[in-house]
Structure 1
């Protein structure tokens, strides 16, 4: 990039970023002082982000509500929801916005040059010229507003309001937030930037606008560009269209420092207790340490290694002693380094209140012991090697790596304008850490930050009976008092607000507004599919699937074992085997040594259960038990040796250890009921219409959760048969006739792997077992599954593949229309739910599910109206093209090397061919409004099954008990 051509920017620093094969530029906009960082390289997945320091002063959630609201129309793009129009009509590879405790960031990404510029243009216009000043209804819709329920009673609704009601339901979320608040009572980190439902309704429209005026200005902005874009052109565009139109302002958005405590503080909080839940077994504790500001790269990484060695691996000393002594059921930790004042938290779960003091004592004693005797050196080596592997691999799944680099840059840049690159360039940090394993360096950091640190807090969150009910009653009473005291003028103002909000929602965007949004054409979309890369061979009868892809000397191995010959009564044990492998002793290693060994040798190790629907055979599927590992080629032999050891030499005789694992499984699943209730509701509802989903339910769903609870409820009685069954299913699974090998990497490594597989095959179990046929029963009842949540997740599911209806590309386009039009408008925009999703699978099933929803029957009614809405679907060429672009965008997300291999393996397992994939893509690209209208029949068939599962708030479920065949408390 020729910086000399940029007259309106000053170059502060140019830096070669060798580790990420890039050149970094730090610039300042001369007129406004806007800060700009550019990372230039050959990555076609380009990223733009603009962020602002947005320090909150209270818990009204103003920063969060503004993040939602600025994306609801702007000066040049006066649509009601350009964000949604971009989501369904651009080739974005990422499109979202984030509210952090002290900053708000708006990132986009795309591999298409034109699309990238369009997205950047819309986002810049949104943050600098939002329509929030012209239309108060945006604030009311996204933040909070009064409305009346069916009985005429005053209630509060709003997207952020309901989102945060969901966030404030779980003890885990509460203790996470309170741990930070407790350390920083006097600065921005002592309040909830996302908003607390108790305080959100106190935010006024004027305060909301003042926040935008105060902080959304170029002089308070941080602009980030990444990739192979024409950076000169992008920077000139940003200057010409936006930055140069502003003058410099002195904006005080600094983040205050919390003064150190003279003594640790204690905080006690309550959370809702579900019916049947025992408060004495479900209390949460945390011990929290404030760290010093502006951690350098080496110290930041060193603290990550300390976290791993203390708590982060299954055999870490702090985790082990707290669990083994019965102080808590499970332990987690968090090192938060994205703030000006970082902090470290250790959380104990499932504890008795009487253990509060002991929890803090054991943490102090264990940390002091480690500082005195020294860390386990292998644990430190494992932590360093594992961290460096992730750093070198730079595989962030669906997230563009340029996005993750940018978010990481904000962690240092936000607090020091001269340091955007500190945390993305490790330089010699990993080598430094290795050299200091034996020098006492890590123990010195422990003494500095944890021993004698008085800036410390103890937090306890205790489930208490009646908390949720009393909170609801208090809110109801407060709203009744407000309603009773309203003057005629105030009633009229509320009515006018509701009328204005409904008019805003119901009025379609004008033709001019719709056309203001730039858009690609169908001709700019690639018609050909990405080819499948399966090189299929066998090793002594074992299928070997190879994907010859450049992985930069990293091997991605998958050993899949079919589980279709295991009797139904043993299927839950397949799930349990998945969850205990690598968590128990083997013949060679104790479990506390095994995980550091895994992390020392491999960059990743995962055991999972998968199900592959056969594309051309209705209702048939292949279930598998899979081990996935990734490692540097140089360590492939060691890696395979460890995998062999874990699969064939794991010991199930340590009953105490397995009980600890069972408690961890139970805790993890209970957390998902509150945080990912939509996934739970959808999986359970699908289990009532699909044998594949019912199979999944037995090994990883609600049925599996009940199986875990039953084991724990009478563990001493169940333990013996449990260990026998674990051994039995191991012998049934790990057999050569079940095995399929999948490998992504280098050709020469594939040849070495074949030799290892041939040897490994001879060690697998061969004892004959009587063949069995699996009999999978569908879930019979509609279910209301109660949690301590304040909102619900509502799912309807069914089969559409009756009467000759088959999967086609139009269903993919339908998903975009429903997700960003009909369902979005009625469930989120009008209903106030935080989100709503839908799916139509090639296996002939489909579902609708809401996320953090304040409504139950209203949402069901919306689902019921979907078929009619689709049957009346109309779209001109522009609108139809927009839906097609959004569909292709989802289909064409850039894939990492490992993801490319997984895509190809999936095609092998399901039997979907390149011809099938091309046919689907053609059907998407050629989709017409008539094709969409025809899918109404699919929805009618799906809805005719009338399968409903709702997860969440007890009152909403009990009030609608007639909808369910079964109502049950999940916790």
Structure 2
């Protein structure tokens, strides 16, 4: 249907339409006359349809009210009276994306699906949730998702609990998170950006139920909303549905949602904060510095792009001059930049990690002097061109895999539209890139440095320094505060508090009625294709190498991955093979120094990276294939240059630049420590797998705790070990980069293969072909049951084993069990009742099964919940409709849309693991035909999991010491 500007369609006035060539879309804007809602539509042929509704939400304090409401409105509504519609649709729809997010000044509720009926259902559930949430009738929702006084019996101590409360406890345990949040807080004090919309731990407990309702009543109105619809969908049908079911019932309302930001400072503000480290940790190299500047308005698209590119030029590449200057002064282990254009006022930040307090002035001096020198002498034009090329390549490629393209475009629209700008200006990047290329011929970036950093007083400098046992001091003060609070309660008040907790428990424990569950819309299992989606590909022999070729429409982009044999490396050298993957491409070669190499790669390629990957074969739980992968992408005309650069790196890298080597190793150590503090659940899951499985022992050796120990050792003893490290990296390179057992994956258009084939054959002839040997690794596997202590307020609790080791088989029913665990059992027992931010079951075809919690206030209680899942499975009994929901939720994760590159990666992974299409068909049918009895059949697996009792925990010193009898080994992970 052709829309006419000014006409009314289902209550919406059609206001504008424009073609956006960059993303092959038509952009439309509609305004709902009665309610005042604005709807933006991006019409195109993408079958991964996206819907979202976003509200401008402006908190005036750090109680986290916006964040708590984001969680809470998804816990039941007018039409959908189950406790958690969000979870019901997660486990029972074909969604390709389903989430909600709180930003500094907005709250967003996006969904995506490739199935039209499912898409309409998801839109219905979300609109009902935001406009008619059950929070007005059920205060227990805010208690559960936000915070509450937790007490069961009169003699118990009172504690704080709640999902958001525990999430933010985890967030503020990270010094980087503390630093980032504090920079905005100081820059924008007195405005909406000067508070934490996510909530500060000490302020969350000040939020009252009435204040939460008042915030919702003010901001969650159509007049304050931006509705977004993307993809191949009949927009007329969507407009009719939204109007008839929701917007027609609202009248336009004036909402005060203006954002006011204070003026510039007369001088840069400074602030010093502390974060906690454990008693056993050294204070050396534990201080963080951050400088941040307000650099302009989000509506100035060209300036925003320029500053984003400047951040990359200065700090993101190996050749970046500011990065090099800071690193070469040896005043920190890692440095990076952040340009934030997601709020009204852009910010440009420079962050130095793992430094020392005495280096503060040196850091300032290096930044100032380096930037002055760049302004005076100019920035390397090759670096500038390389960064611009890399950015343009990424914009044109627009492959986002599991993150829908439509959602990326949605965020770009909001970054202008929320502040009154043209909705589509950030999607039109052709002219912006073209203009900046032209400006860069003169002193464009140098002028940006001078204006927005050197001569800009609208900035802050934040220091975050370590303090031993600070967390314990805070916890003791908190306990004392709560003791005083309890002692000040009358008997009646205490009984009321206990009663409110029992009311919450009763709600959590009471199953949703069948009638209410049936209110959640569901597509039929019969609507799901029973056959797999096959990916067109060919396996070709080329000079004793296997080429996996995916002829796809890539718009001229060439994707090349080359897999070298990992088992060519002797067992004692495995950690060096992993280190090699982080070093290679970042050191000098015979032709280029590492800075020139970085510029050459950016100027000619869309990216090149290296990784040591593990492909487990399901036929035998001990059979796995380590592969050293080299992955690159470029435009068609740059393919010869890709192979030239690849060959130079592989055959001619030089590893004995000790200064550069130490920089890289320290950066790896710093980033691993950040990962342990921030996402210890993955590390714990891998570690527990390493007790019982050779594949996971190998994985731990190359990415986990064993690898971290290896990095700490060579970092701490680098002067004594540097020659050994360089020699071993060279040896690992010689073992790996050989012609034998070579596999390549190539994704491009049909007519490109002949050129690729010739270049690839020429490339392989330049590889070594001598002394090839496959090593048979023999690992000592031992149940260690470890607890790794660190200064944090939360835990990451894992329990797991390998069921194939005990002759249990992997099948599709176990994949459905994972859905049931993630969206039912673990969600309820660990997140809803326990207050953890998250909990999940991981599963692999080679038999690895593990439970892991994320930002969890508990330890023993979580392990007990894992143990009791066996009883849940034994008693499992749901009707056919509920079983269908679990199956649909499982299939949604399998049928995610894939980019061209990911399609090729999937085909390659199946080849390397020995999984063919027939295996995948059989597994899919096992999922689709899964029954209650099939789920109950997993009882023996979970019973054996409990008997084996393999556990690993990362968490607070206090909580681990309270439960030390559970562990065979207790380690201070960051101790000296």
TM-score (norm 1): 0.98
Where 1:93 maps in the other structure, the secondary structure is: strand
Larger mean CA deviation between 391-400 and 742-751 belongs to: 742-751
Name the counterpart of 1:874. 877
Q: 1:425 pairs with 416, 424, 428, which one?
A: 428
User: Quick one: distance in 2 between partners of 1:707 and 1:22?
Assistant: 50
User: Quick one: distance in 2 between partners of 1:272 and 1:189?
Assistant: 26
Name the counterpart of 2:325. 321
CA contact (8 A) 2:643 2:760 kept: no
Shift of 1:374: 1.4
Name the counterpart of 1:216. 220
CA contact (8 A) 1:297 1:426 kept: no
Shift of 1:513: 1.0
The verdict on how the C-alpha distance between 1:617 and 1:803 changes in structure 2, with shifts beyond 3 A counting, is closer
Name the counterpart of 1:2. 2
CA deviations 1:671-712 (Å, max 9, x no partner) are: 101111111110111111110010111111111110011001
User: Quick one: distance in 2 between partners of 1:609 and 1:235?
Assistant: 49
CA deviations 1:286-325 (Å, max 9, x no partner) are: 1111122234222111111111111111221111111111
Question: Is residue 712 from structure 1 mapped to residue 719 from structure 2 by the alignment?
Answer: no
Name the counterpart of 2:165. 161
CA deviations 1:576-635 (Å, max 9, x no partner) are: 100101111111111122222212111121111111112323420111110111111111
Question: Is residue 240 from structure 1 mapped to residue 253 from structure 2 by the alignment?
Answer: no
Question: Is residue 698 from structure 1 mapped to residue 701 from structure 2 by the alignment?
Answer: yes
Larger mean CA deviation between 106-115 and 799-808 belongs to: 799-808
CA deviations 1:529-550 (Å, max 9, x no partner) are: 0114331112211111111121
Shift of 1:53: 0.6
User: Quick one: distance in 1 between partners of 2:179 and 2:305?
Assistant: 25
Q: 2:404 pairs with 400, 404, 412, which one?
A: 400
Give the alignment of 1:16-31 within 5 angstroms.
Answer: 16-31=19-34
Name the counterpart of 1:609. 612
Q: 2:458 pairs with 452, 455, 459, which one?
A: 455
Shift of 1:376: 1.2
Name the counterpart of 2:269. 265
Name the counterpart of 1:863. 866
Gaps of 5+ in 1: none
CA contact (8 A) 1:689 1:797 kept: no
Where 1:42 maps in the other structure, the secondary structure is: coil
CA contact (8 A) 1:801 1:938 kept: no
The verdict on how the C-alpha distance between 1:524 and 1:459 changes in structure 2, with shifts beyond 3 A counting, is same
Name the counterpart of 2:39. 36
Name the counterpart of 1:731. 734
Q: 1:496 pairs with 486, 499, 503, which one?
A: 499
Give the alignment of 1:171-186 within 5 angstroms.
Answer: 171-186=175-190
User: Quick one: distance in 1 between partners of 2:843 and 2:948?
Assistant: 15
Shift of 1:149: 7.2
CA contact (8 A) 2:304 2:346 kept: no
Name the counterpart of 2:211. 207
User: Quick one: distance in 2 between partners of 1:924 and 1:714?
Assistant: 52
CA contact (8 A) 1:297 1:423 kept: yes
Q: 1:958 pairs with 954, 961, 965, which one?
A: 961
User: Quick one: distance in 1 between partners of 2:440 and 2:649?
Assistant: 28
CA deviations 1:467-500 (Å, max 9, x no partner) are: 1111111111101111111112321220121111
Where 1:706 maps in the other structure, the secondary structure is: helix
Question: Is residue 145 from structure 1 mapped to residue 140 from structure 2 by the alignment?
Answer: no
User: Quick one: distance in 2 between partners of 1:342 and 1:390?
Assistant: 21
Question: Is residue 11 from structure 1 mapped to residue 14 from structure 2 by the alignment?
Answer: yes
CA contact (8 A) 1:612 1:909 kept: yes
CA contact (8 A) 1:565 1:774 kept: no
Give the alignment of 1:72-91 within 5 angstroms.
Answer: 72-91=75-94
Shift of 1:344: 0.7
Where 1:350 maps in the other structure, the secondary structure is: strand
CA contact (8 A) 2:151 2:497 kept: no
Question: Is residue 831 from structure 1 mapped to residue 812 from structure 2 by the alignment?
Answer: no
Name the counterpart of 1:765. 768
Where 1:153 maps in the other structure, the secondary structure is: coil
Q: 2:788 pairs with 785, 790, 810, which one?
A: 785
The verdict on how the C-alpha distance between 1:534 and 1:945 changes in structure 2, with shifts beyond 3 A counting, is farther
Name the counterpart of 2:851. 848
Shift of 1:941: 2.2
Shift of 1:756: 2.1
Q: 1:596 pairs with 583, 594, 599, which one?
A: 599
Where 1:737 maps in the other structure, the secondary structure is: coil
Shift of 1:451: 2.1
Name the counterpart of 1:525. 528
CA contact (8 A) 2:151 2:501 kept: no
Q: 1:274 pairs with 273, 278, 292, which one?
A: 278
Larger mean CA deviation between 24-33 and 612-621 belongs to: 612-621
User: Quick one: distance in 2 between partners of 1:618 and 1:322?
Assistant: 47
TM-score (norm 2): 0.98
User: Quick one: distance in 2 between partners of 1:47 and 1:494?
Assistant: 43
Name the counterpart of 1:290. 294
Where 1:428 maps in the other structure, the secondary structure is: helix
Q: 1:65 pairs with 65, 68, 82, which one?
A: 68
User: Quick one: distance in 2 between partners of 1:111 and 1:331?
Assistant: 41
The verdict on how the C-alpha distance between 1:771 and 1:57 changes in structure 2, with shifts beyond 3 A counting, is closer
Give the alignment of 1:353-752 within 5 angstroms.
Answer: 353-416=357-420, 418-752=421-755
CA contact (8 A) 2:77 2:133 kept: yes
Name the counterpart of 2:202. 198
User: Quick one: distance in 2 between partners of 1:574 and 1:149?
Assistant: 53
Name the counterpart of 1:821. 824
User: Quick one: distance in 1 between partners of 2:754 and 2:676?
Assistant: 44
Shift of 1:845: 1.9
User: Quick one: distance in 2 between partners of 1:586 and 1:277?
Assistant: 38
CA contact (8 A) 2:298 2:415 kept: no
CA contact (8 A) 2:685 2:850 kept: yes
CA contact (8 A) 1:826 1:862 kept: yes
User: Quick one: distance in 2 between partners of 1:313 and 1:430?
Assistant: 19
The CA RMSD over aligned residues, in Å, is 1.4
Name the counterpart of 2:310. 306
Shift of 1:766: 3.1
CA deviations 1:613-671 (Å, max 9, x no partner) are: 12323420111110111111111111111111111111101101100000100011001
User: Quick one: distance in 2 between partners of 1:899 and 1:404?
Assistant: 18
Count the aligned residue pairs: 970
CA deviations 1:914-945 (Å, max 9, x no partner) are: 11100011111111111111011122223322
User: Quick one: distance in 2 between partners of 1:802 and 1:715?
Assistant: 40
The verdict on how the C-alpha distance between 1:779 and 1:414 changes in structure 2, with shifts beyond 3 A counting, is farther
CA contact (8 A) 2:797 2:852 kept: yes
Where 2:273 maps in the other structure, the secondary structure is: strand
User: Quick one: distance in 1 between partners of 2:619 and 2:537?
Assistant: 19
Larger mean CA deviation between 2-11 and 844-853 belongs to: 2-11
User: Quick one: distance in 2 between partners of 1:771 and 1:251?
Assistant: 69
CA contact (8 A) 2:175 2:288 kept: yes
Q: 1:54 pairs with 57, 82, 99, which one?
A: 57
Give the alignment of 1:894-933 within 5 angstroms.
Answer: 894-933=897-936
CA deviations 1:11-70 (Å, max 9, x no partner) are: 332111111111101121111221211101111100000000101111100000000000
Where 2:127 maps in the other structure, the secondary structure is: helix
Shift of 1:770: 6.8
